[in-house]
Structure 1
Amino acid sequence: MTITPTAATTPTTVPGAYMRAEIAEQPYRWLDLIDWKRPALEAAAGLIREAEPQLLVFAARGSSDHAAIYGQYLAHNLLGVPALLATPSTVTAFGTELRYPASVMLAVSQSGESPDLLDTVRAAKRAGVPIVAFTNNEMSPLAALGEVHVPLMAGAELSVAATKTYTAELLTLYVVLSLAAGVAWNDVASQVRIAVNAATSVLKNTAPIVADLAEKLTAVERILVVGRGYSMSTAKEGALKLMETNAIAASGWSAADATHGPLGQVVESTPVIVLTASPAGRDSVERFASAAAILGGRMIIVGPGGDDNAEHVPLAALDSVGLDTALIPLLEIIPLQQLALALSLATGKNPDLPAGLNKVTKTL
């Protein structure tokens, strides 16, 4: 296969150039994963199958935590196994040593360097829990802690805002948990290639729509992003991208939780981005959208549905025949990444270097 250049091979001082290149190269990185890392992916799935866990524990921070939320849904739906998100401060702030049932820990991190994440993984290992590590750095401390390490194959990511490493985490979790559930390699690889083709169309088709939308949102100070099920991870990650790159108050929610309080954030002209591409949970997202519209919210629909009063990012490529709906989060995050980039540039910021943020965040 022909591997496209990564953003790391094209040094530039143009604001947003790295983020733009890294968004665009995502489908190629997904192909790299299945073309080059089949042994690691199958080893990770084999470890999960052989352990016959009663519980999966996801350890992650930041964008990786949003990928872990997606993995939690996959674990439930593919394996029928309860899954939870680790709380690193239990170990680092309280010094608590947990007792686990038969478990496997999936530790997800772009850098593999955050001290509290490493301490959490070490504590799990002391409790006898096998570790599968997912990182974009094969030489990281986290990679060394895993019984199996799965490289994300995203390539160097130079923009502070994670884009291609985030979708690489989603895809890697999808492949490993599908294989652990007994799905054949060829079937999983076929799904990845369908997603690659769909993502290529999304990148092309949504770019002009999002650019126009960004120009209309330059004066906003807050945005609400809402999804449900698999798309809850997209809501949280999309809000984080908007927050990181634009210094605005953005928040991402499940439609069910948003109805309990965040709906109160909506006043006249508040932008509300609703994610309708995932069939499971779509009804509750649409009900929330109706409630937000009554309050005067400015509705932006990413996916099918909507009316003439809403702005619409249609994602027509998600109608691709045979696409597993569990892969929709890889695709629906793309226009939110594009919006974060375009809005930042439209307001004179540099999304590659947001004020006060670093590429690698080492929390204690």
Structure 2
Amino acid sequence: MDRTPSASPGTYRQVDGHPTTPGALMRAEIAEQPGRWSDLLTTGCDALEQASALLRDARPELVVLAARGSSDHAAQYAQYLVHHRLGIPAMLATPSSISQDAGHLTYPRAVMVAVSQSGQSPDLLATVEDARAGGVPVIAVTNDASSALAGLADVHVEVSAGPERSVAATKTYTGEVLALRQLVMGASRGPELDVDGLVASAAAVLAAMDEQAVAAAAALDRADRVLVVGRGLSMGSAKEGALKLMETCALAASGWSAADATHGPLGQVVEGTTVLALTAGARSRDSVLELARAAAAQGGHVVTVLDDARPDGVADGWARGVVPRPADDLAPLLEILPIQRVALELALRRGLDPDHPRGLRKVTLTS
């Protein structure tokens, strides 16, 4: 692998007219997340209630989730949550069917939930416009209330993440996951969220990773490939964790469901391959650990993320025992935090600038 440094700790770049060192933006935005979640749950409660009422009162036969990139990973979380809480089918949209194939879809009684940090992607907008033309109500979840997507929606939920200037999405991703969680739980009249407890748990995980991330990055730097594994509600954060490692560290990483990984990706595990196992969720833990132990038997270096114990066959753990085991619907929010912090430190260790990965832009306009 080419390890030619693109930035060093002493390198300064101009961002909005101010000098900044590599990784400074991503570090600050990771740290903001507990406070931003509190903001969302305070300032966004009216919009979330309206969105939940729309989803509930429409009595849909289908929920369609439209998104790209990190937002698509948040949408995958919502897909599972809709199944668990509402008991109705949920599907991920295929925007190219509209933008590239000039198609038109006829839906049953449905609600579309469109998720986008910027709310600007042309193919996503085309997908929403097509749905609206077919009489499908639209809920938009974005970080920009003035965006085109927000303007198209029947109800818009702003994730309240504030400006995100690092190319690597961190606080916008978790803001979307939390907004989608509240949307679905509200529609199902689920239990009240312990906001203070969630915020305190996130702060505790981040504080622990402030101590562990440098050493964890040093251990991960010896790997030439990484497999990130979750299942069910945690699968989206497994894919998002792999994306963070790929885009910031130029590391060959892939995210999988533990069930799917046994059908092929397990074959990529050789001596020294790192396997990150998202094991905080009670429902999915046994399945993920079964895959992790199989990887360890092939020489893989298995690391659990946010587990409360050290299972057999596991070499290491990030933020182990820091917080009580979270509810399954909250585990993906907390599991991604250690991976964000390690990705930041690993990028810096490799002489890369995680705020400005080579070849990537903050807003990708796919058509």
Compute the TM-score of the two structures, normalised by the length of structure 1.
Answer: 0.93
Match of 1:21 among 28, 32, 41: 28
Match of 1:248 among 251, 257, 281: 251
Deviation at 1:94, TM superposition (A): 1.3
Structure 1 Cα separation of the partners of residues 312 and 319 of structure 2: 12
Whether the 8 Å CA contact 1:98–1:124 is kept in 2: the answer is yes
Deviation at 1:281, TM superposition (A): 1.7
Match of 2:180 among 173, 179, 191: 173
Q: Say which SS state the counterpart of residue 35 (structure 2) adopts.
A: helix
Whether the 8 Å CA contact 2:293–2:313 is kept in 1: the answer is no
Structure 2 Cα separation of the partners of residues 123 and 81 of structure 1: 22
Whether the 8 Å CA contact 1:207–1:335 is kept in 2: the answer is no
In the TM superposition, 1:337-352 aligns within 5 A as 337-352=340-355
Q: Alpha carbons of 1:22 and 1:276: their partners in 2 closer, same or farther (altered >3 Å)?
A: same
Quick one: percent identity of the two aligned structures?
Answer: 53
Match of 2:113 among 102, 106, 119: 106
In the TM superposition, 1:47-62 aligns within 5 A as 47-62=54-69
Structure 2 Cα separation of the partners of residues 212 and 309 of structure 1: 17
Match of 2:337 among 331, 334, 337: 334
Structure 2 Cα separation of the partners of residues 223 and 183 of structure 1: 36
Q: Say which SS state the counterpart of residue 166 (structure 2) adopts.
A: coil
Match of 2:305 among 284, 302, 305: 302
Aligned to 2:40: 33
Match of 2:290 among 287, 290, 293: 287
Deviation at 1:37, TM superposition (A): 1.6
Q: Say which SS state the counterpart of residue 160 (structure 2) adopts.
A: coil
Aligned to 1:143: 150
Structure 2 Cα separation of the partners of residues 308 and 98 of structure 1: 48
Structure 2 Cα separation of the partners of residues 291 and 176 of structure 1: 37
Aligned residues: CA RMSD: 1.6
Structure 1 unaligned runs (5+)?
1-7
Q: Work out whether 1:264 is the aligned partner of 2:263.
A: no
What is the count of residue pairs matched by the alignment?
351
Whether the 8 Å CA contact 1:202–1:315 is kept in 2: the answer is no
Kindly provide the CA deviation profile for residues 20-73 of structure 1, in whole angstroms up to 9, marking residues without a partner as x.
000001010011011112111111011111101011000000000000000001
Whether the 8 Å CA contact 1:298–1:310 is kept in 2: the answer is yes
Q: Work out whether 1:74 is the aligned partner of 2:81.
A: yes
Aligned to 1:5: none
Aligned to 1:91: 98
Match of 1:120 among 114, 121, 127: 127
Whether the 8 Å CA contact 2:79–2:90 is kept in 1: the answer is yes
Q: Say which SS state the counterpart of residue 176 (structure 2) adopts.
A: helix
Whether the 8 Å CA contact 2:27–2:344 is kept in 1: the answer is yes
Q: Alpha carbons of 1:327 and 1:10: their partners in 2 closer, same or farther (altered >3 Å)?
A: farther
Q: Alpha carbons of 1:144 and 1:179: their partners in 2 closer, same or farther (altered >3 Å)?
A: same
Whether the 8 Å CA contact 1:206–1:315 is kept in 2: the answer is no
Aligned to 1:200: 203
Deviation at 1:277, TM superposition (A): 0.7
Deviation at 1:309, TM superposition (A): 5.5
Q: Say which SS state the counterpart of residue 211 (structure 1) adopts.
A: helix
Kindly provide the CA deviation profile for residues 236-285 of structure 1, in whole angstroms up to 9, marking residues without a partner as x.
00000000001111100000000000011101101111111111121111
Structure 1 Cα separation of the partners of residues 157 and 107 of structure 2: 23
Q: Aligned AA for 1:293?
A: A
Aligned to 1:4: none
- Tell which deviates more after alignment, 323-332 or 303-312: 303-312
Match of 1:237 among 240, 243, 252: 240
Deviation at 1:318, TM superposition (A): 3.4
Aligned to 1:161: 168
Q: Say which SS state the counterpart of residue 330 (structure 2) adopts.
A: helix
Q: Alpha carbons of 1:361 and 1:161: their partners in 2 closer, same or farther (altered >3 Å)?
A: same
Deviation at 1:315, TM superposition (A): 3.8
Deviation at 1:96, TM superposition (A): 1.4
Kindly provide the CA deviation profile for residues 271-313 of structure 1, in whole angstroms up to 9, marking residues without a partner as x.
1111111111211111111111111111111132334760111
Q: Aligned AA for 1:360?
A: V
In the TM superposition, 1:272-283 aligns within 5 A as 272-283=275-286
Whether the 8 Å CA contact 2:85–2:188 is kept in 1: the answer is yes
Deviation at 1:152, TM superposition (A): 0.7
